[in-house]
Structure formats: structure tokens, C-alpha cells
Amino acid sequence: MTDWTSSSVVIRHKVGLHARPSVKLTQLAKTFAATVQIAGTPEGPWIDAKSIVKVMAMKAKQDSTLYLRASGGDAAAAVTALAGLVERDFDEDRAHAASG
Amino acid sequence: MRHPVELKGRPASDGIFAGPVFFLSTADAVRQASGDPAIERRDFDAAVAAAIAGLGALVAIAEGEGAEMLAFQIALLEDDALLAPARDLIGQGKPADIAWRKTVDAEIVGYEMSDDDYFRARATDLKDMRDRVLRQLSGTGGLGSQAGAILIGDDVPPSLFLEADWSKGGAIALRQGSPSSHVAILARARGVPMVVGLGDIIRDGHSEAAIDGAAGLLVLSPDAPQKRLWSAKADALSARRDREAPFLDRPARLGDGSRIELLINVAEPEELAVLDPGHCDGIGLMRSEFLFRDGRPLPDEETQYRAYRRLLDWAGDKPVTIRTLDIGGDKPVKGLTPEGERNPFLGLRGVRLTLQRKDVFTAQLRALARAATHGNLKIMVPMITLSAELDETAVLLDQVMADLARDGVAAKRPPLGIMVEVPAVAVAPELLAKAAFFSIGSNDLTQYVMAAGRDEASVAALGDPAHPAVLRLIAHVANYGRERGISVSLCGDMASEPRHLAALIAAGLRTLSVSPASIARVKAALAEIKPI
């Protein structure tokens, strides 16, 4: 039995989990050693949050809930960081403020 | 020795070029399979790595949405979920190119079947990524080898255009494609000759060709007399370009040294990727229609804000004049423009339409006011006829400013100027003295003054912007602006044509907005003009 650290977060992004947000999500997931998975329902199917192909294939839409879970050394940090990214709407406004 | 083959297509970007041909399409580039899975695997991994490296270099020069889509391709190429099936097929003895194509095509089907427009559009990115790796595998690889050649293919993605080296000339000839595609826009901005819709171009041993972008002509394997003719044409063009090139990064001046403010007209933000802001004094006309394409959902405030921000970031502290939505006339957008108008050019277009669609207008003004905090932004309203239309727009902008202030959103009220294109305004500009600036739209002004539709080939000869009646109106507006301290510029096509410049300077204009590809040419021509 794997020990999972779990969380869930609502996607507010206008077009949902599309190319730009998906790239950010997978890039962030890859910075953790833990196995990180996401799903569209609490029951799964769970997919690898480090795979852009799989994340895009979820076609998660705006206002849908994203379920997150991770296991491994930095699992708790991974779940917090990923949920935070989605909550901050993938840092799109912040990124733009920083670029100007 | 091949016989010459002449093909006629549609002009997409002017210019003449003769040189070697370079066939692009993956159908033409076949990999020689080694038959050894270990070698296929090694070549495959090397091709993916090379494609990622190439994309990384592109991201650095691409702008905005283009850069984001390149980052998406990189993420895909770094994803084992995509690479593993291809490697498995290679392990089973399939050649690397076939294994890769099969794997990616299976993925593309999933995107193409989607009922979501945005998702379906990503299929193009996957194809671009697929072909990028296939080019590496077939040895046609990095496009460095293409410098100074005529690229021939079915269609080319914008990323490939950005990747190519155009410093030694070159041209593009496409079997399919469209003059309004992004690549055509980039080609025009960069001055690369391009012809589209040529139909079947058979490789068949052709190693050189000549292209005339304006005529939409491609000649494969030109014979000796043809070659002489084409090289004379190409030499004349390149001699002219050589003469003009030194002017590119100098400020625009007349023969007496007096300064001309030279701005550029931009239709697509992607154009800016190939332009240096140091070569102009700012953007004199940014058409906002690129955000409102027919058949796509209307852009929300956030999307517009981001797009306007990118323009301002590019321009630094130079002015950026963004024209509010100018659809109608010859630019219909489903769901916005009225259908069945008997004479759309005299109908509900420009500000006449946006004032009836306050929801759309308000979102655009909000996005512009927010973006204005990041640079020197000006708002230009098209198709103004009466001062009441400008007043109503100003009230709307005040309301937008009040709403943004109330919500604590950072914003700045940009100066509100107008296009002078309706003869009523050109005749009586004093009725619009409240405008922050005038920009003369000589294309529409000419068609309205001469009563000759821009899209009617049969009356094209009447549409002469240098007709004394048009020039007199231009001079009238310029003089009025000078007396009242209202800046006046001209952003129609005539400003990009050297033969009209003397007349425009004589009419009193000192600010011009031109097509990006004509900057050096216009500067060189201005330097010849001695103002009276």
C-alpha cells in the first residue's frame, strides 16, 4: 500500500488545463522526486503529473476540480506547490507583472 | 539538363530571387533506414535532442503566444510518455522515422477529434514537432543549410520561418498555403519573396529556380535566356536593396536633415519577432483585428490585455497606437458584423459597429487602459464621421477608467485620437478638434473620395491616392493640425511607396506610418526629398 498525500483544487483558468498551464504544471511536478499524480475525480484514473501528453489528454475544463496526490520523500511539498500553482491561476498575471 | 517549368500561384510577398531549391516537405525527405535497431535508436535520440535544442533557440526569439507553443513542443519532446512507444517500435525493428510518425500521428488523432477548438488547434503544434524530428532524421535537419535557397514545400509553420537564415536572401514557394497565413505575414515583414498555391511542384531533378513574389511566378530549372532575364531582375532588386540597407538603422530625415517621425503598421504581433524597434520611431497603426478572427470565439479582456502588453514591451518607451476594432466593410466577423448589407463599406463598420456593441467595445477599452500603464499607448478610433461618435467613445472610456479605479485595477487613460478616412472629417476637421491626434487612412479616404471600391478590380484605376482631390484633403488636414497643435500622421499604403512621398511631404506631413518591410526604402527615398 502506497502512502499518498492528497489535495484538491478548482481550476479557474479560462481555457482549463491547456497547453500553457499544462507546461507549467508538468515543469513544476518534475522538480520533485516524489511520484505525483492528478485525476479528474477522487477515484481516478490517476495519471502522471510529470507527463504533458497525459495531462493534456485529461482535457480538464474551467471550474472543474483537480485532484492531486503524491508519494515519496517530498510528497507533501509537491502537493502544496502544485495546488498553489493552480490556485494562483498558473501565475499568469504574476508572470506578466514580472516581465514588465 | 531539365527543361524549364513555369508555375503560376498566388502572390504572398513581393520580391525577386533566383537560386538553388531546397525541398522541405517531409514527403520528399526520406530517411535511409539502417536496418539496425541500435543505430535507429541512437539516431532517434539524437534527432529528438537536436529538435529540442533548435526549439530552445527559437523560444529566445519568438514572441508571446508563439513562444508558448514552442515551449509546449519542448515539453512534449521531453515526455517519456510520448517517446517510449516510438522507442518500443524501434526496438521491434521499425525504422526510426516510421516509428516516430506512427506514434505522433496516433496522438494527433486524439487532438483532431476533440470538440474543443483550442485543443484541435494544438494538432498543428504536434505536426510541427513531428516534422521537426523527421527533418533531423532525414538529414535535412537544421535549416542552416538552406540559407540563400528557395524553400519548397506543401505549407510551412511560422516556427520554421523563424528558424531559417534569411541573411543571404532566399524565398518560399508553397504547393498550398495562403497569402493571409502567419508565414506570409512574416515573409512580408522580413521582405522574403513568397508565392503560395502553386499546386504540384514535382522535385524531379530540379536544382535551381527563380521566383517573382509580386507576379506569383515560380520557374524551375530556368534556361539560359531566362536565367539572364531573372538575374538582371534580381540584380536590380538587390542593388536597390544594397543602396537602401544603410538607411535601415538611421533616423528618418529629409534631404535638408529635418527629422521625419517614421512609424510602422502592424497587423500581427508575430511580425515583431523579425523586427528591430530601433529601426522605427514606434508603431503608428496596430490593427486589433488579429484578436477577432472570423470563426473564433471573441477574445476576453484578459487575452486582449496580454496581447497589448506584448506590443508595449516590444516598443519600450516608443509610442504604440492601437486602433480599436475595425471590422465590417471587407472584414466580416461572424456574430459581430451585420449580414446582408447591400454596401458594407458604407455600412456598419468601425466605430459605428463598436458603439452598438458596447460589451465588446468596453472589454477592449478596459484591456487598453490596463495595458497603458506599461508604455506609451494611444487609442485610435476608426471610421469616425461625427464628433458625437468620439464623444460617446470618450464617455465610455471615462466609465471604464472609473470602474477600474473603483476595483483597484491599475490603469491609465490613453490619449484618444481618430482615423481620418471619412471625407466629411477630412473636409471639416475642425468639428473633431477634441481628438488627441489625427491619422489619415489614405486607403479608405481614397475609395470614398473617388467613389471606387477597394475590392473592385474594374475600377482599380480610379483608386489613385495621389489624385489632386485626395492630396488636397490630406494637406487640409495636415494644415489644420499644425495650426491647432494636433499631431497628424498618415498610415495608408501610399506612405510606403516612394513615388508618393514627395507629395505627402509637400502636403505638410512629417509623421508617416509604413509597412515594416519598406522602412529602409522609405528612409532612402525621404533623404532625396528637399522640402520647399
Is B221 found in the same domain as B73?
no
B309 vs A100: CB contact, 8 Å cut-off?
yes
Ordered by start, the domain boundaries in chain A are 5-99
Taking a C-beta distance cutoff of 8 angstroms, is the pair B168, B148 a contact?
yes
Query: Quick one: average pLDDT of A48-53?
Result: 93
CA distance B57 to B69: 14
Q: Pull the grid cell for residue A27.
A: 515543469
B338 DSSP 8-state letter: P
The strand pairing partners of B253, in sequence order, are B259
Q: Answer with the residue of higher pLDDT: B53 or B437.
A: B437
pLDDT digits (tens, 9 = 90+) for B232-283: 888 888 888 889 999 999 999 999 999 999 999 998 787 887 889 999 999 9
In terms of domains, do B196 and B341 share one? Answer: no
Residues B466 and B363 placed together within one structural domain of the fold? yes
Query: Which H or E run includes A67?
Result: strand A65-71
Over residues B491-513, the pLDDT tens digits come to 998 999 899 999 999 999 999 99
CA B385 to chain centre: 29
Tell me the per-residue pLDDT of B71-128, one tens digit each, with 9 for 90 and over: 899 999 999 999 999 999 999 999 999 999 999 999 999 888 887 777 777 888 898 8
The B-side interface with A (CB below 8 A) comprises 68-69, 71-72, 75-76, 78-82, 107, 110, 114, 116, 118-119, 122, 125, 300, 302-303, 306, 309, 312-313, 374
User: Does the pLDDT at position B363 exceed 60?
Assistant: yes
Tell me if A22 and B68 make a contact (CB, 8 A cut-off): no
| Nearest alpha carbon to residue B233 among B206, B208, B212 | B212
pLDDT > 90: percent of chain B: 56
Interface test mutation site (partner A, options B48, B52, B73, B78, max chain A beta carbons within 10 A): B78
Determine the Cα–Cα distance for residues B115 and A43; give it in Å rounded to an integer: 25
Which three cell numbers, joined as nine digits, stand for B155? 505549407
Distance from C-alpha of B437 to C-alpha of A83, rounded to nearest angstrom: 49
B279 and B359 assigned to the same domain:
yes
Total domain count, chain B: 3
Q: Which of B81, B114, B119 sits opposite A53 (nearest CB)?
A: B81
What does the block give as the cell for B152?
519548397
Using an 8 Å CB-CB cutoff, list chain A residues near B82.
Answer: 53
Residue B532 domain-assigned?
no
pLDDT of B105 reads 93
CB–CB contact B79 A26 (8 Å): yes
Q: Which chain B residue is nearest to residue A47, measuring alpha carbons?
A: B81
Partner residue opposite A57 with nearest CB, options B80, B110, B300: B110
pLDDT at B159: 66
Residue B374 inside a domain? The answer is yes
Task: Give the rounded percent of residues in chain B with a pLDDT score beyond 70.
Answer: 94
Residue at a domain's end among B77, B106, B139 = B139
Same domain, B499 and B469: yes
| Residues of A recognised as catalytic | 18
Measure CA B414 to chain center. 25
Residues B331 and B371 in one domain: yes
Q: Quick one: residue A17, left, alpha or beta (phi over 0 = left, psi -120 to 50 = alpha)?
A: beta
Contact B385, B424 (CB under 8 A): yes
Confidence at residue A98, expressed as pLDDT on a 0 to 100 scale: 36
pLDDT at B62: 59
User: Do B405 and B333 reside in the same domain of the chain?
Assistant: yes
The pLDDT tens digits of the residues spanning B20-35 come to 888 875 544 566 778 8
Question: B60 pairs with which residues across the strands?
Answer: none
Is B182 marked active-site?
yes
**Contact assignment for A51 to B81 by CB distance below 8 Å:** yes
Cell of B98: 516510421
Over residues B426-440, the mean pLDDT reads: 98
Residue B284 is which amino acid?
A: G
Contact B398, B405 (CB under 8 A): no
Q: Nearest by CB to B122, from A19, A27, A99: name it.
A: A19
* The predicted structure's pLDDT at residue B86: 95
At the top level of CATH, the class of A5-99 is: alpha beta
Q: State whether residue A88 sits within 8 Å of chain B by CB.
A: no
**What's the pTM?**
0.65
Instruction: Say if residues A24 and A91 touch (Cβ distance below 8 Å).
Output: yes
**Which uninterrupted H or E stretch holds A8?**
strand A5-10
- Same-domain pairing of B68 and B209: no
For residue A13, give how far its alpha carbon lies from the nearest alpha carbon of chain B (Å).
11
Same domain (yes/no): B254, B403: yes
At a CB cut-off of 8 Å and minimum separation 6, what does B77 contact?
B48, B51, B52, B55, B83, B129, B133
User: In terms of residue numbers, what domain contains B441?
Assistant: 248-526
Q: What angle do CA B80, B83, B87 make, to 5 degrees?
A: 120
Beta bridge partners of B380: B323, B417
Segment (H or E) for B434 = none
Question: Which has the higher per-residue pLDDT, B504 or B146?
Answer: B504
Q: Are residues B158 and B301 in the same domain?
A: no
CATH number for B47? 1.10.274.10
Pair B47, B136: CB distance under 8 Å: yes
Q: Are residues B12 and B37 in the same domain?
A: no
Contact B516, B281 (CB under 8 A): no
Q: In terms of residues, how long is chain A?
A: 100
* B13 and B35 belong to one structural domain: no
* pLDDT at position A99: 35
CB contact under 8 A, A59 and B114: yes
Nearest-5° Cα angle at B222, B220 to B224: 165
